[in-house]
A and B are shown apart, each in its own frame.
Chain A
């Protein structure tokens, strides 16, 4: 059974049909790419999956259960995490605290326990901190754990966003243009990192990316969207040769 399945997902904003009858499925542990020209509706698809928007019609199934129309935090709790195209860190918090926020929904300590701070509270707090530090170490951010998130250089902020998303312990990770603004060296590092995340955390990854080198190099299957409609789906080699895709990107002739 597919981990995530979109069935004729459609969303309309007033008169604008942003996504139309989109269907695709992501398997467990798969690296899946979503590409398309600017304004094709890729981020809208992300927002639909994560519950920021509800689809006007159609269905989205996660692990066989419908998630469309649910609140974002419910979807996050069910195991879908994301990063943002325009970085959205908690800027006044430290790097470590940013990652710790993701542990909150798994916390068993209620308000009263957090006020009275018994041994169980401290145990859990320590466990979450250690877990977060391990995650940060993997992203080479552990040395910066106490720095303000806003003081990090751009590339590190992108990595922190991924770390924070992973701290929710997702089964599906959505990355929205993680290579944006990166130089070729950083992009190459990012590709290695994405593969490593998949292998170490056993997650499926849905990647929206403009950098073709990254998408083609890392994804196992790719869905192409143009004007909110899926026009092609397949392995990178097939996509590269697809006439409709070439037309969409380069125009006729």
Chain B
């Protein structure tokens, strides 16, 4: 009951925001409104990419460097669905008002993107995650490049010309609905026994399997969920820009997503959100310093990794601290003594 209420209120809040953002930025008095609106959308897409990659890289501790490949698979898959099958879908749901038809097409495209990328995730994940070490990094890197070359050679999706004529179906509402979904999914998983299993694998694979955790299965699971959300982000991206070109999906994009989660703090959801927003907004603020931008980025990345490897927010996430405080309050009410201080700080070398 409570959850239904929560979901409904989130939906209506998003609806309200959508109305507000549209009237204010798109039809409204603010000069450059559409420009701000676009930044808002791109920030949302980057949040989905960063939070989802964080599940694999930060939480489960595996290193994927081909997230843009899944982003691309989702984008092209979804765009093909709405471009080629869109009219047919509209025909099927012709009894609905236009907005409803749009939603039906977009949802089907979204589902196709999710399915395709989950499958691609399985295909890439199973062989490479069986092995310990950097194999995932290597294979995802290769996957990203192969996908790009394949797309360039498929004429039905525009090849080197790019894919144009994609209907504009995505907007603030859909993007931030996906943002809410990815945060809820990754956040809830993190606070469940799956989350503990993922972290256990990151911390000590051998101990994790000795405690009965099927390490490969869990790595693949985390990776597939990551890929799926990247694919859905791709769907909303393509249906916002209405045009896709492989140049948006090179491994530079993959690296950019890694920078987002590294800056924000590997393993922290809020960190990933912060990193995604920073890396969307800062380049805009630095427009005109275009050539210095990437230099500043990369320098900042190196310095942060050297002097604050846990990122800006670090792993002690706000959510976790909040949870601990609530647990402490609960146990205080039950008259159980709150956590005693540690006996001493000795470490077990």
Contacts and interface: CB of A to CB of B under 8 A. Distances in A.
Contacts of B337: 143
B188 A114 contact: yes
Given A87-B348, A143-B337, A72 B196 contact: no
A9 interface: no
B203 interface: yes
Contacts of B149: none
B192 A121 contact: yes
Contacts of B342: 144, 147, 151-152
A21 interface: no
B215 A73 contact: yes
Contact of A93 (B3, B184, B200): B200
A48 to B, nearest CB: 13
A251 interface: no
Secondary structure call for the B interface: helix
A115 B348 contact: no
Contacts of A82: 210
B211 A168 contact: yes
A52 B225 CA distance: 28
A104 B337 CA distance: 27
Contacts of B213: 73, 101, 104-105
B348 A153 contact: yes
A163 to B, nearest CB: 12
Interface string A83-110: 0100111111100010011111101010
B343 interface: yes
A147 to B, nearest CB: 5
Contact of A114 (B192, B200, B203): B192
Nearest to B197: A104
Contacts of A71: 209, 214
Nearest to B194: A114
A111 interface: yes
Interface string B317-349: 000000010011000000001011011111111
Q: Name the residue in B324, B337, B347 with the highest tally of chain A Cβ atoms < 10 Å from its Cβ.
A: B347
B206 to A, nearest CB: 6
Contacts of A125: 192-193
Contact of A91 (B184, B203, B210, B225): B203
Contacts of A88: 204, 206-207
B348 A152 contact: yes
Contacts of A156: 343
A101 B194 CA distance: 9
A249 interface: no
A94 B339 CA distance: 12
B346 A72 contact: no
B115 to A, nearest CB: 16
B208 interface: yes
B171 interface: no
A146 interface: yes
A50 B207 CA distance: 11
A191 interface: no
Given A76-B210, A90-B199, A111 B340 contact: no
A100 B200 CA distance: 10
Nearest to A94: B324
Contacts of B221: 111
B164 interface: no
A105 to B, nearest CB: 4
A103 B193 contact: yes
B214 A114 contact: no
Contacts of A100: 193, 196
A194 B77 CA distance: 59
Given A82-B210, A88-B206, A103-B193, 17 more contacts: A72-B210, A77-B212, A88-B207, A89-B207, A90-B204, A90-B208, A101-B213, A109-B192, A114-B188, A115-B188, A143-B340, A147-B339, A150-B347, A151-B347, A153-B346, A154-B347, A157-B348
Interface pairs A-B: 10 shortest CB-CB: A105-B212, A114-B192, A76-B212, A88-B207, A153-B346, A157-B348, A154-B348, A90-B203, A143-B340, A72-B209
26 contacts: A72-B210, A73-B215, A76-B210, A82-B210, A90-B199, A90-B203, A91-B204, A92-B203, A93-B199, A100-B196, A101-B196, A104-B196, A104-B213, A105-B211, A105-B214, A114-B194, A125-B193, A144-B339, A144-B342, A146-B339, A150-B347, A151-B347, A152-B342, A152-B348, A153-B344, A156-B343
Interface of B: 3, 184-185, 188-189, 192-194, 196-197, 199-200, 203-204, 206-215, 221, 225, 315, 324, 327-328, 337, 339-340, 342-349
